Amino acid sequence: MHSITTQDISNLEKMATTLRFLCADIVQEANSGHPGTPMGLAEFATTLSYHINLNPKNPKWLNRDRLVFSGGHASALLYSLLHLWGFDLSLDDLKSFRTLHSKTPGHPESSLTQGVEITTGPLGQGIANAVGFAMAAKYAQNLLSKSVISHKVYCFCGDGDLQEGISYEAASLAGKYKLSDLIIIYDSNSITIEGDTRLAFDENVKLRFEAQGFDVLLCDGHNFLDIQEAIIAAKSNTTKPTLIIAKTIIGKGAIGLEGSEKTHGSPLGENVIAESKKAANFPQEKFHIPDDVRFWFQNTQEKMQSLEALWEKSLDSSAKTMLESLRNPDVASIQYPQFTIGESIATRASNGQILNAIAAKLQGFIGGSADLAPSNNTTIKNSGDFPHGKNFHFGIREHAMGAICNGIANYGLFLPFCATFFVFSDYMSPSVRVASIMKSRVFYIWTHDSIGVGEDGATHQPIEQLGHFRAMPNLLVFRPADANENIACWQVALESSAPCAFVLSRQNLPVLEVCDKSKISKGGYIIKDASNPQSPQITLIATGSEVALALECAKALESESITTRVVSVPCFDLLIQQDKSYIDSLLGGKVLGIEAARGLEWFRFCDEVVCMQDFGHSAKGEIVFQHCGFTIANITNKAKTLLNTH
């Protein structure tokens, strides 16, 4: 559809009006939600329907266009479109908006609703997700060719998305990497919850995005000819990402409320909807969809089934082989490095060798660091840089990096990893949380894991982060004790269906015994049993760098005839999934936890915990450990005191 006739405009107006009131009815039925943005975007969404390539019969078709709603509160519009386009979302599903166990939750969730590409909640995340989709597509083009991967990535966003800092980070990367298949549609209605955006936001968005390397187009978001021209121009751009600034009116068509912030987050009310439908000469019936409108919406997608068939037919044998290897990575073929028991190596360093071993066998294992690759040990050797190689340079942009990796993971071909210092994981937390909700397979490499960081001081020494991420459902947090545990942790992680984090030491640690992944799969195991395994007087539980310390403490206690068991727990999250009998088999006598972090979660198992009571200090790592009580003398004294406590 490249030219619009008078009849086309008449049809488009009827489609947009239907879409507008369908969204209003959805929100009103739930008595909860956000009608303003969906109503304001009705014309743009209707026009986009004639351009976007999707196949409702196969929602996971690889070469489909991706559509992201960064403003997830506009979910009523997304659900209405999916229904009208012919996805598996019924009218009854629309009527169940925001109800328990429905396919139409308040914000889009990819695991619940067919056609929803990615879960978007916090504002700004979706822009970075869309950049992630576009980066994945660009990398895929270089693997498979532009004839195989030729789709677009569309993203609806609003003023709130652009005020969040993550949008600056993500757009900067999109411009840097010239992601020409990315089209961001900015719903510029100049309204946020508190009122006019000028209260807190009056920058020149056009100049901002142009400075970041975007082509910026302006259009009247209610004028079909303007919208059509902008979309065609954006699709034709082969050198830059595009931002379309669509000037719209929030709550368009809502009598008495049009243009008001009152339409943002509350139902319009039955009377307003009735008056608005009357003014638009639209039937009063709730959820009314005229037959011709339903036909027009679904007819735009009928071509997609034949288009996908032609695409499948065009794939040559090499493309099919590559796609098979990407979709079904052969993790059993990975040849992990070998480490010598007794040698000394930081887990960040052993992890670097492991990453390279994985990348050598898995074509889809890609990623990078937030400008810390030399410290994180995350460079994939002899591989080159994105978009042609596996090494992604995210720059100092942890927030966007996390959300971009969510997009890469949800693209359907790749296993992304991303890295930074553990203390800066705070910047990534919203993205990690959304990945955990989706169970997206993202691998986080977080190095410099404790007070062992040393001289950089309290600002760089993570204390509370371990507890925070262990508390996050669906996220597996691994803190390996040594290089061999590190290998086994990766073996478990690559077979899991959840996002995984690796929390790794800066300082060198002794290589301990070879560790089987079956031990890691249960979260914790006995790494050294007591001289009398049937009745240990005390059990020391430790993770990461503190395991070696616990083993030294056990020697000291055993020398004083105190039977001592040591349990290594590389993954607290997996341990708490085990049945009581297994956990009881690990613990004997009094239980003392040792961890150079806040450690409050260990009281679930321990009688006492040697942990951090405050933030860290600036000094050499070993001195900070001594000052904070992580010494053989202090821990053995704690153990003996605990034994004497009744």
Q: Which amino acid is at 582?
A: Y
Residue 191 counted as an annotated binding residue: yes
Residue 73 counted as an annotated binding residue: yes
Length of the chain: 646
Rounded to the nearest 10 degrees, what angle do helices 398-411 and 165-176 cross at?
60
Residue 448 counted as an annotated binding residue: yes
Residue 399 counted as an annotated binding residue: no
Residue 264 counted as an annotated binding residue: yes
From 355, 430, 354, select the one nearest 399 (Cα to Cα). 430
DSSP reduced 3-state for 222: coil
Residue 182 CA to residue 151 CA, distance in Å, equals: 9
The residue annotated as part of the active site, out of 117, 164, 308, 398, is 398
**Cβ count near 119 (within 10 Å):** 24
Residue 358 counted as an annotated binding residue: no
Residue 83 counted as an annotated binding residue: no
Quickly list H helices, 112-239.
125-144, 159-163, 165-176, 205-211, 224-236
Residue 441 counted as an annotated binding residue: no
The angle formed by the CA atoms of residues 533, 534 and 538, to the nearest 5 degrees, is: 65
Between strands 344-345 and 509-510, the pairing is antiparallel
Q: Which two structure tokens, joined as six digits, stand for 452?
A: 């062992």
Residue 486 CA to residue 348 CA, distance in Å, equals: 9
Residue 159 counted as an annotated binding residue: yes
The angle formed by the CA atoms of residues 103, 105 and 109, to the nearest 5 degrees, is: 80
| DSSP, residue by residue, 335-379 | ------TT-EE-HHHHHHHHHHHHHHH-TTEEEEESS-HHHHT--
Residue 116 CA to residue 110 CA, distance in Å, equals: 5
Beta sheet of 242-247, edge-to-edge order: 66-69, 153-158, 182-188, 242-247, 215-220
Residue 107 counted as an annotated binding residue: no
Residue 617 counted as an annotated binding residue: no
Residue 195 counted as an annotated binding residue: no
Residue 424 counted as an annotated binding residue: yes
Per the annotation, the verdict on 398 as an active-site residue is yes
**Cβ count near 467 (within 10 Å):** 18
Q: 339: left (phi > 0), else alpha (psi -120 to 50), else beta?
A: beta
Which residues make up each annotated binding site for Mg(2+)?
159, 189, 191
Which residues make up each annotated binding site for substrate?
34, 264, 348, 375, 448, 456, 460, 506
- Residues with a catalytic annotation lie at 398
Which residues make up each annotated binding site for thiamine diphosphate?
73, 121-123, 160, 189, 264, 424
Which residues make up each annotated binding site?
34, 73, 121-123, 159-160, 189, 191, 264, 348, 375, 424, 448, 456, 460, 506
